Amino acid sequence: MAQWRRVIDTNLDSMFNMTRHVIEGMRQRRFGRIVNVSSINGRKGQAGQCNYAAAKAGILGFTKSLALENAAHGITVNAVAPGYCDTAMVAAVKPELLRTIVAGIPVGRLGTPAEIARMVAFLADDDAGFITGATFDVNGGQYLA
């Protein structure tokens, strides 16, 4: 139970707590960009990671609902669902499992944090005003929704 709670707190509750502190100011200004970070595992699930997949899937539902609630206020809310990237978390995976993961990525490699950041920056840009409630998969083709 403690592990479940820790993962939900880290990935879902933290997003809610951050959003509630900025949303009113955005409404008053009639402008805002919120970009939430989910995961490929929130889109497709992952054996052995029910807590993580549930938290990341929850981010997607939160994103869609918040987008609907705030579009008329000039606020866009979107999500990015990264695939496996070259990060410390992925580096901790056993090498044989990591080889299997990379073999399942059509582009043949892990993503980079910079590639994810470029998608986030695009969605945060003033020019992204007609995009809201969407989830963008940045995963090298590993999961196609």
CA dihedral 89, 91, 95, 96 (to 10 degrees): 40
Whether 72 and 106 have beta carbons less than 8 Å apart is answered as no
Distance CA 74, CA 111 (A): 32
Distance CA 128, CA 105 (A): 28
Whether 98 and 54 have beta carbons less than 8 Å apart is answered as no
Q: Is 84 a catalytic residue?
A: no
Distance CA 67, CA 141 (A): 26
Q: Which of 52, 62, 84, 136 is catalytic?
A: 52
Say which residue the tokens 């969407």 belong to.
134
Q: Give the residue numbers marked as catalytic.
A: 52
